[in-house]
Amino acid sequence: MNKPVTVTLGAMGDRARAHVESGRYASLSEVMRAGLRALDREEAALDALLKAKVEAALADDRPLVPAAEVFASIREAAKARRGAG
């Protein structure tokens, strides 16, 4: 779908124009497309990282520790630190 879109880039507009003026890109549209492709790659990499972390967590055989137990341990450590300081 090639429907014209208007965007306000503010100061980033100067950077986009500089890319065109340098000859690296032929038009502002090309700069925007390159930026969106980079964003797509970045988000895909983040999605893959998060998916891998979730899969690793689900595959972890170690026993789960209830949140109440974790927080009690943190409170005890903080109390001991306050008493020692």
Number of domains in the chain: 1
Residue 4 lies in a domain: no
Residue 3 lies in a domain: no
78 compared with 1, residue with greater pLDDT: 78
Residue 59 lies in a domain: yes
Cα separation, 43 vs 70, in Å, equals 32
Residue 75 lies in a domain: yes
- pLDDT, position 84: 74
Q: Please give the average per-residue pLDDT across 32-58, as a whole number.
A: 97
Q: Please give the average per-residue pLDDT across 50-77, as a whole number.
A: 94
Contacts of residue 28, Cβ cutoff 8 Å, sequence gap at least 6? 16, 17, 20
Check residue 54 and report its DSSP letter. Answer: H
- pLDDT, position 55: 97
The answer to pTM > 0.75 is: no
Residue 68 lies in a domain: yes
Q: Is 72 helix (H, G, I), strand (E, B) or coil?
A: helix
Q: Please give the average per-residue pLDDT across 10-34, as a whole number.
A: 96
- pLDDT, position 85: 61
Range(s) of the domain holding residue 62: 11-83
